[in-house]
Structure 1
Amino acid sequence: MIKKFLLCFFSILSLSFAEVTLSGLVVDYESGVPLRDANVRIVGTKLGDATDISGSFKIDILDPGSYEIVVSVIGFEEASQTVSIREGQSKEIRFELRSKILELDPVLVLKERSSVVGFGPKFLRIPGSASVVTSRDLAKYNDTDINRIITRIPGVYVQEEDGFGLRPNIGMRGTGVERSSKINLMEDGIPIAPAPYSSPAAYYSPTAGRMESFEVRKGSSQIKYGPQSTGGALNYISTSIPRDFRIKANLFGGQFNTYKAHVNIGSSGETFGYLLETFFDQTTGFKNLDHAGQNTGYSKADYLSKFRFNTPKSFTIPAAIELKYSITDELSNETYLGLSRSDFSIDPLRRYAASGIDEMDADHTQTVLTGVVKPLANVDLTFAYYKNEFNRNWYKLSKVGGSSIGSIFSSSANDHPAYALLSAEDTSNDVFQIKANNRMYKSTGFQLVANSRFSLLNSYHNLMVGYRDHSDEMDRFQKVDKYAMRSKELVLTTTGIWGTGSKNNRFYYADAISYFIEDEVEAGPFKITVGVRAEDISVERKEWKGDISGEGDSWNDPNRELTPSVKEKKLDVIVSGIGMVYKLNPSFSLISGIHKGFSPPGPGVDEEDDVKPEESVNLELGFRYRVGLTEIVSTIFNNQYQNLLGDNTQFAGSGSYDQFNAGQVNINGLELAASHIIPIGQKFIPLHISYTFTSTEFLNSFESNFEAWGTVMAGDELPYVPKHQLFSEAGLEDKAWSSYIRFRLIDAMRTVGGSGDIDSNFSTDVVALLDFSAEVSISTSSRFFFNMNNIFNNHSVAAARPAGVRPTMPRNFVAGVKITI
């Protein structure tokens, strides 16, 4: 079958095409720097393209003739050229655009507010580290796993958990990766984490497969986003409302009974625009359950709608408003249970029978209403109301024979008394405790931003003032059922009672009022950004741990009739930062910055808890070099923590949900990214490489119940931070087809703090993965694509938590078709 498939694939590659290709570059007139996201259109037709980060565009034309090509990009004057194309001829043209004072109409203001890196000249002169995974980058490999998508960005760390990216663990510049709790997770510039203040370590990530692009902003210029300000912000950019009527569909399938569909339809008129979109994703999984071999995959459906109304351009005070509503439904047969190291060495894709009925049932809804008014040409006021609701119940194995699943793998010898029960065929009653980890999250907020652009004393200012009123909550209402194994099947023997048992009946609430002011000042070769963010945070925890029966038990108040215990914490914090760009010449700039990092603690578990907020001082220094089709960006960074904060979740510890301060920690690192495009006739060879070096060190000795830290000596390295990371990519692009190959390497990571040589029993493996993709035109509106990931079928230990080691995804391929009408 594979031979037939490959024969068909390469036969399609060899087909001749009637179209000719119009390709070219769009660059800054002054510096020659390529301009990304420029809109290139052919007048009188619906043909067009948008430039990528190299400034390149490519349009396939069916009929020869004379065409007027118009290019526009925010912050630059519009330009046009007329070209004549003969049959069988391809044409290359170059546009050099002159910059102009940036005056955005309300629709473009909405787009800018959804971004954390900006666009046009602003993106080229950000006083800090900023990276974008563009729609073109996404189209190369058709990734739907956020871990694969962002590994191309230096300074970003990921820890695999399920192999699909359903529950990513992401950190930046040495922050912890646990459940992505130490970064600002956003969608279209709006906080998207279920409860970023009251419960930041929640398991949630937006559906990466339906996104248009991804942005990462690190360093001094990201403090206005909050509340996590040490590492950075990850912004998911959803599909934009198209300018003209458009239907797009990506349909593909592959190994492990994988089927995916991404379809959207939309259009814009003078005063109205809309987008309707769906993304469906399902697979039976790649792991093999003992005994039964049931489905270990998932199904996920995502639906999104956007409706935009705006005033006609002739209005004296232009305005626009956009409503966005999305629904996500996920059902995944995922577990916390990994493997022992000895079992992993025999069959890394094995899964123990005791986890056979583990299942995550999750639903998410988001409503966002954003609007903008421009009372003056250089002033705009933007507001946003948002509401996120996330309900999930992860029904998963918690204990076996009275032992927590994490403790079973404390030894590599499989000698724990409960180990033999993991795949037993028959057991006594109540051996397996399966907990319904039921959580209901809600977050709501209103934010207002005023922006003014003006000149003062021979300098240009972009002044922004913002306000946000945010509240979020987490309702933890759980139960524990008990099972026995009967003839290789799990059978319920004792039904638990909702809201009873230790820590199964809790409610967390947080309210945060925040303000920020930021001024970007341009004077000659200097661009200086100064910002201050102030937050007033209140966090509260309620626990119903009394006994409604009056018999002296604890955690026995399922209907919440008794007065709960209450723990509160209030914080007032001010974080500030300053960043600078010095433009030595049109191609070379120096960047530097310093800012205060902050991460808010929860209220604590016990009454005597006095967990301090995580604070840090963060510095960066680097350069940007852009000329023609070459770009190099390099940054060194240093994060000096005063009170590193750790969360003892079940993912990273015993599940007590205690928080710990680790005192002083020092993190140093280097980020490097370089890209170049080699033109060869009508073909292009795009090259890209990124590298991250990170050095971490505890500066204090201490004892901790937090499993990942344990007994720490001064000089120990932090766990789950790789010393070296490498990403490289090369491609070959022709008018009718393209192919790419990428290599990803993540160094072995400690799974507990330590120093010296890494003990293989307490580390991950070096993960080295090679992927290939190819795409070919079938017609002007459709393309066929093929991807193979992990070509050499590398089975590395990607993580040793939660509860055992787990592999990378094995070799897999997908193929499909992309249709645009």
Structure 2
Amino acid sequence: MFFRKKLLSSAIASSLMLVPFALQAEQVDSINTLTVTGILPDRLEAVPGSFDIVDERDLERRRPFTVKEALKTVPGINAVDEDSYGLALNIGVRGLNPRRTSRTLLMEDGMPLFLGPYGDPSAHYSTPLDRVERIEVVKGSGQILHGPQTVGGMINFVTRPVPTDGFEGAVTMDAGNQGFRGAHTRLGYGNDTGGIMIDALQKQGDGVRRGHDFDVTEFSIKGQLNLTDRQTLIAKVSRFEEDSAITETGLGQLEYAQDKFQAPTSDHDRFEHQRDSVQLKHIFDINDSATLNTQAYYADAYRSSFRQVNEPGDGSYIIDGTAYSELDRCGTAATAANADACGGRHRPRDYEYWGIESRLDFNHTLFGLDSDAVVGVRYHEEDIRRRQFRDGDPRARDLDWLKSFGTDYLREDIRIDVEAISYFAQNTFHLGDWSFTPGVRIEDLSIKTDVVWAEGDPQDIRQTNRSTDVLPGFGIAWNGIDNTTVFAGVHRGIAPPRPDRDLGEVGDGVVLSKTSPEKSTNWELGLRSDYFDGVSLAGTLFYTDFQEIVIQDSGRFFNAGESEQAGIELAGRIDFGTFYDSAHNVYLTGSYTNLFKAEFSKAVPSENIAAGNRMPYAPRHMASLSLGYENPYGLDTRIGVDYISRQFVDGENTRVESANGQEGMIDGYSLWNASINYRKPGSDITLFGSVYNLTDREYLVSRVDGKVAGRQRQFFAGIRYEF
């Protein structure tokens, strides 16, 4: 520990030693190379990798109900509709398993959003779209500046800035079918000295399945203080609360055939999530060519779920390791009537993490070339506690009742401590129409797991998983054609080793497996162009070689050898109004992904995985297409369709459906959607409406915990007043 902290101190000192060099740096034409709250630089033409920006105008046009819909237009992204509001976010990038977005780094203004970014990278929270100014998606070599996940991409939610010119705000009210209603208020004031902004929102409604109601509230305060002409302090505090009846257990084959939208135990199943976060950023413009950014963040989250049905499709409950049908006071089938007579299992978990990062961005002319450099270091700690309580008594639905008996009903207590230090450096050399960007990231990680209680008995199982990984990257960009960039890049990717979430049994004891970090080599070749007025095009050919892919099976994580993913991503937009110089604009937007290779390149006999098998939840084709019309009188209307081809759900590529619904195929489907906005020129009021799954198509989205149906037709309408 002493050595690691000494190393951290040395790294910070080294970064600060570069400040005098930055003070002497020769001023070049490009300054302020880093946006304040974004992860993309201002000089986008020099970015040597693929990226997408979903800006506020795009969000207004599409009127997405959730983050998932907002990202369906981004090529390479598979967003799974497991619930109606995106409370448990499932996003997969370029064929990676979308389960809880565990291989895609989620951030808000550069701060990680997972329950535990290293120890449990599960997405049970994402920034509400009401607070978002734009969404940045980075999939190329620029990932090495951020971590810990660098294998699948990054998604950064950039929140609205504090007002700078007086008082402003907005009030939004919307409502729809399935009991949905929501409200959002934003109030702020600012001047040359700084400002403050308050956001408050509340959303509630019914879920995909009957009884899966949800209630979400969030309150946040964001402030900015301009200390001097060159120093700015930004602070943000947020409180998020979720209370829902959404259960992770799906349906078995028979249950799904009877009623795909049923949830027999929804009267008792519960999911609660509270999240408090603090973010503090100091921005020091040392001179016109150098900026020192220091960010500190803290998050404290508690999530607790109560589940009665453990396995779908077997007509039984699992209570204290005993089938529900074996208990006299319980029925023989998982029905609402029988659920009233039984208890279940609680899984309360506590997560706390904090970190501090300092990075220096500066321009220089070392070697006689105009250059943009970034160098920095981050220290990060996590403290995780996972517990489980179970019993068959109906009173066990009350967690406090179970806790009142001490450890009598405690089944599991696992503590996970994480300490991580990250170092990163990158330099972009500009030479005429060319730019060259070498960079490197070092992840030094220690994960300590302590099993205090397991299988209802005290334990003393300790494990430390340490790793130090060097992640280099290199990219090239060429801008020899007006408004066009051709790029190529390669970078080393990594996902931290995953601690086991559920313990396995060997004889009378328990075991704790140890996984290695996922390692990959990611290649890209692409083009983005706005050469013609009113026409934007982008295309990327990618190839990812995994040396240590990790597979999840019923909560267990294990290294499954090697895999390869390759494909092509295309995106474009045509504004015919610009093309023909007309105030009436018909626009066409679209994206397409062909993941022509996503397979295991090495067999794993112990798991019945053969070389050449398709990876789970990796559809070969994904597409999104929208046709819209906007006029100078304030009307903007759009209709679109999203398509996903069929998918395997396990490494065995099982085609025959199992009784519990967890094995089998997921058929492809197309979903139509539409939106409309009207704002009279000069007015402060916007009227809007949106509908998803316009034709009310029935479709399947997941088999992870049994069969889960996709959303039925969902629509909402609302009004926003800005002042």
Q: Indicate whether the TM-score tops 0.5.
A: yes
Equivalent position of 1:524 in the other structure: 432
**Where does 1:337-486 land on structure 2 (aligned, <5 Å)?**
337-352=249-264, 354-399=265-310, 404-405=311-312, 421-423=333-335, 425-426=337-338, 432-483=342-393
Given the superposition, is the C-alpha separation of residues 426 and 269 from structure 1 closer, same or farther in structure 2, using an over 3 Å criterion?
closer
Rounded to whole Å, the distance in 2 between the matches of 1:754 and 1:544 is 34
SS of the residue corresponding to residue 545 of structure 1 reads strand
1:336 paired residue among 248, 255, 267: 248
**1:483 CA drift (Å):** 4.7
Given the superposition, is the C-alpha separation of residues 788 and 158 from structure 1 closer, same or farther in structure 2, using an over 3 Å criterion?
closer
Matched, 1:623 2:536: no
Given the superposition, is the C-alpha separation of residues 498 and 722 from structure 1 closer, same or farther in structure 2, using an over 3 Å criterion?
farther
1:101 paired residue among 25, 29, 36: 29
Q: Is the Cα–Cα contact under 8 Å of residues 389 and 411 in structure 2 kept in the other structure?
A: no
Q: Is the Cα–Cα contact under 8 Å of residues 544 and 555 in structure 1 kept in the other structure?
A: no
2:453 paired residue among 523, 542, 545: 545
**1:589 CA drift (Å):** 2.5
Structure 1 unaligned spans of 5+: 1-99, 290-295, 410-415, 547-553, 558-562, 705-709
Describe the superposition over 1:764-803 as per-residue Cα deviations: whole angstroms up to 9, x where unpaired: 222311111111225611021121221100110111122x
Rounded to whole Å, the distance in 2 between the matches of 1:533 and 1:518 is 9
Q: Is the Cα–Cα contact under 8 Å of residues 767 and 798 in structure 1 kept in the other structure?
A: no
SS of the residue corresponding to residue 365 of structure 2 reads strand
Residue identity in the other structure for 2:168: R
Rounded to whole Å, the distance in 1 between the matches of 2:443 and 2:271 is 34
Matched, 1:508 2:416: yes
Describe the superposition over 1:509-546 as per-residue Cα deviations: whole angstroms up to 9, x where unpaired: 10001110011111111111111001211110111138
Describe the superposition over 1:569-594 as per-residue Cα deviations: whole angstroms up to 9, x where unpaired: 11111101111111231133221111
Residue identity in the other structure for 2:353: S
Q: Is the Cα–Cα contact under 8 Å of residues 397 and 405 in structure 1 kept in the other structure?
A: no
Equivalent position of 1:327 in the other structure: 239
Equivalent position of 1:745 in the other structure: 643
Equivalent position of 1:275 in the other structure: 197
Describe the superposition over 1:343-376 as per-residue Cα deviations: whole angstroms up to 9, x where unpaired: 4345332222x33211111111110110011222
Equivalent position of 2:468 in the other structure: 572
Describe the superposition over 1:363-395 as per-residue Cα deviations: whole angstroms up to 9, x where unpaired: 111101100112222111110110011111111
Q: Which has the higher contact order (CA 8 A, sep 6+)?
A: 2
Equivalent position of 2:21 in the other structure: none
Matched, 1:116 2:39: yes
Aligned-residue CA RMSD (Å): 2.8
Equivalent position of 1:674 in the other structure: 572
1:732 paired residue among 616, 622, 629: 629
Q: TM-score, normalised by structure 1?
A: 0.76
Q: Is the Cα–Cα contact under 8 Å of residues 567 and 607 in structure 1 kept in the other structure?
A: no
Matched, 1:225 2:122: no
**Where does 1:595-610 land on structure 2 (aligned, <5 Å)?**
595-603=491-499, 609-610=513-514
Rounded to whole Å, the distance in 2 between the matches of 1:209 and 1:267 is 18
**1:702 CA drift (Å):** 1.7
Equivalent position of 1:305 in the other structure: 221
Rounded to whole Å, the distance in 1 between the matches of 2:621 and 2:201 is 35
Given the superposition, is the C-alpha separation of residues 243 and 141 from structure 1 closer, same or farther in structure 2, using an over 3 Å criterion?
same
Q: TM-score, normalised by structure 2?
A: 0.86
Q: Is the Cα–Cα contact under 8 Å of residues 174 and 696 in structure 1 kept in the other structure?
A: yes
Residue identity in the other structure for 1:691: Y
Residue identity in the other structure for 1:447: E
How many percent of aligned residue pairs carry the same amino acid?
24
Q: Is the Cα–Cα contact under 8 Å of residues 379 and 421 in structure 2 kept in the other structure?
A: yes
Given the superposition, is the C-alpha separation of residues 137 and 452 from structure 1 closer, same or farther in structure 2, using an over 3 Å criterion?
same
Matched, 1:809 2:707: no
Given the superposition, is the C-alpha separation of residues 266 and 391 from structure 1 closer, same or farther in structure 2, using an over 3 Å criterion?
same
Equivalent position of 1:24 in the other structure: none
**If you compute each CA radius of gyration, which structure gives the higher value, 1 or 2?**
1
Residue identity in the other structure for 2:527: F
Rounded to whole Å, the distance in 1 between the matches of 2:471 and 2:214 is 41
Given the superposition, is the C-alpha separation of residues 382 and 185 from structure 1 closer, same or farther in structure 2, using an over 3 Å criterion?
same
SS of the residue corresponding to residue 198 of structure 1 reads coil
**1:312 CA drift (Å):** 4.8
Residue identity in the other structure for 1:720: Y
Matched, 1:723 2:723: no
Given the superposition, is the C-alpha separation of residues 408 and 448 from structure 1 closer, same or farther in structure 2, using an over 3 Å criterion?
farther
Kindly tell me the number of residue pairs found equivalent between the two proteins. 665
Equivalent position of 2:132 in the other structure: 211
Equivalent position of 1:702 in the other structure: 604
Given the superposition, is the C-alpha separation of residues 343 and 428 from structure 1 closer, same or farther in structure 2, using an over 3 Å criterion?
closer
Q: Is the Cα–Cα contact under 8 Å of residues 270 and 312 in structure 1 kept in the other structure?
A: no
Q: Is the Cα–Cα contact under 8 Å of residues 277 and 298 in structure 2 kept in the other structure?
A: yes
**1:417 CA drift (Å):** 7.8
Describe the superposition over 1:188-233 as per-residue Cα deviations: whole angstroms up to 9, x where unpaired: 0111212111222363333344322211101211112111111111
Q: Is the Cα–Cα contact under 8 Å of residues 156 and 170 in structure 1 kept in the other structure?
A: yes
Given the superposition, is the C-alpha separation of residues 442 and 398 from structure 1 closer, same or farther in structure 2, using an over 3 Å criterion?
farther
Equivalent position of 2:25 in the other structure: none
Describe the superposition over 1:24-80 as per-residue Cα deviations: whole angstroms up to 9, x where unpaired: xxxxxxxxxxxxxxxxxxxxxxxxxxxxxxxxxxxxxxxxxxxxxxxxxxxxxxxxx
**1:458 CA drift (Å):** 4.6
Equivalent position of 1:689 in the other structure: 590
Q: Is the Cα–Cα contact under 8 Å of residues 185 and 235 in structure 1 kept in the other structure?
A: yes
Matched, 1:712 2:609: yes
**1:754 CA drift (Å):** 4.2
**1:556 CA drift (Å):** 4.0
Structure 2 unaligned spans of 5+: 1-27, 317-323, 504-509
Equivalent position of 1:185 in the other structure: 106
